Each structure stands twice: as structure tokens, then as C-alpha cells.
Amino acid sequence: MLTKQLNKIISKWKGHDYRIDERIPSTYLVKLVAARFLMLINGYVSGIKNKRLFFLSFHSTIKCRSKLRVGHSVTIERGAYIDALSQEGILFGDNVSVGINTRIEGTGNLQHLGKGMSVGNNVGLGTDCFYGCAGGITIDDDTIIGNYVSFHSENHVFNEMDKPIHQQGVTHCGITIGKNCWIGAKATILDGVMLHDGSVIAAGAVLKAGIYPANGIYGGVPAVFIKQRGQ
């Protein structure tokens, strides 16, 4: 009975059919529901602008809350750290999940206010990830980010041989990830990457600055085109 009721509720929230595995014990589901209810209360009293059903773990850290905006049915898991200080803030669309221990930094340092981050609808940001948003990060709808993935939308200038690198400044091109992409575990996405719709990034790949055409599969260090999806 509990499983059927949860299926109906979750399907309504997500906007598509959702079915919990019937082999999951009821005691497990009861504890999960209780934990989610407490997260819902925390989201409600957080003062963060949202469109209802905001599940915020008590064991997360949110800085500069006025710059964080979340859509409908958003989850921020335990251990997450979000510093939303940035020009455009941090924006999460509907049905976005921020995984355990994920870190999002809107600004790299106080000398240059970062651009921020925009995440579309139905996006999963995996566990233990890092998002450096100084140059801006955009992730479009229905994209999946694996665990231990890192985004770096900032690059150090190092051309002058007689001057310390940390004194030569930084550049910002930004990172753009299209719709319906899958970025595998431990991938690294560097500043200047433009990944088009439907692309798949192999686990451990390093994407350097450049344009990656739609529906391609890319892998390696640095990442190269492997083949087209569906072939």
C-alpha cells in the first residue's frame, strides 16, 4: 500500500511515471519518507526563494542565500556546500537534485565577482562533484552528471616568465552543457567547453576548451571524438 501511494505522489511531482522497486522493505521507505519530510520543512523555513517542494538537508551549507533560486521539487543533499555569491546567482530549475558532498562556488576569489550557474529542469548533479562558476556554468534540461565530476570555468594566465602565475590574473570563457547529455564519473570539464545536446562523456575524460558537436561520444585525456550515438 505504501509503495503504491508513494508511486502516485512521486509520479505527480516529477511529471512522469515513477515506480519504486517492490522488493524495497517498508521500514526503509518509512525512514526515507520521514527524512524527506524533515528536509521539506527545512527548505520551507530556509528563506531561499523556491517554487514549492524544496528538500534541503540540515547537514548542508548555503552561503549568500539571496542569490540562490530553486524551482519545483528540488533536493539539496547532506554535505552539499553552495556559495551563491556571484553576478547572476545560482539558479536551479524544476526536479533538480544536488548530490551528497557536492560543492558549488559562485565566485573564485573576492577580486573578481563570478558569473554564476544556471541549471535547467530534470538535471541530476551527482555526489562529490565540484562546480567552479567564476566564468559561468550553464547546464540544460535532462542532463545527468556522474559522481566526482569537476567543472572549472576559470583559467590562470601564465605567459610572463618573470612574474608569479598567481599574480598574472585569470580568464573566463564559461562552460555550456546542452540538453540530454550524460557526463560520466570523474570527468573534468575545463573553461571554454561547449558540449552540444545529446552528447556522452566517458568516465575519467578531460574536456578542454572547444566545441563538441551534438550526439557524440567523447573520451580520453584530452577527450576526443569516439563515435556518434546510435551507430
Q: What is the pLDDT of residue 157?
A: 64
Label the pairing between strands 103-105 and 210-212: unpaired
Binning pLDDT at 50, 70 and 90, where does residue 171 land?
low
Assigned CATH class of 46-226: mainly beta
Q: Cβ(135)–Cβ(172) under 8 Å?
A: yes
Q: What is the pLDDT of residue 229?
A: 94
The whole-chain average pLDDT of the chain stands at 93
Q: Cβ(146)–Cβ(183) under 8 Å?
A: yes
Q: Which residue has the higher pLDDT, 163 or 99?
A: 99
pLDDT digits (tens, 9 = 90+) for 181-191: 999 999 999 99
Q: What is the pLDDT of residue 14?
A: 75
pLDDT digits (tens, 9 = 90+) for 38-70: 999 999 999 999 998 999 999 999 999 999 999
> Of 1-5, 75-79, 89-93, 114-118, which range is least confident?
1-5
Cα 155 from Cα 80, distance rounded (Å): 24
Percent of the chain residues topping a pLDDT of 70: 98
Domain positions in the chain are 46-226
The predicted model gives 156-166 an average pLDDT of 78
Cα 192 from Cα 207, distance rounded (Å): 9
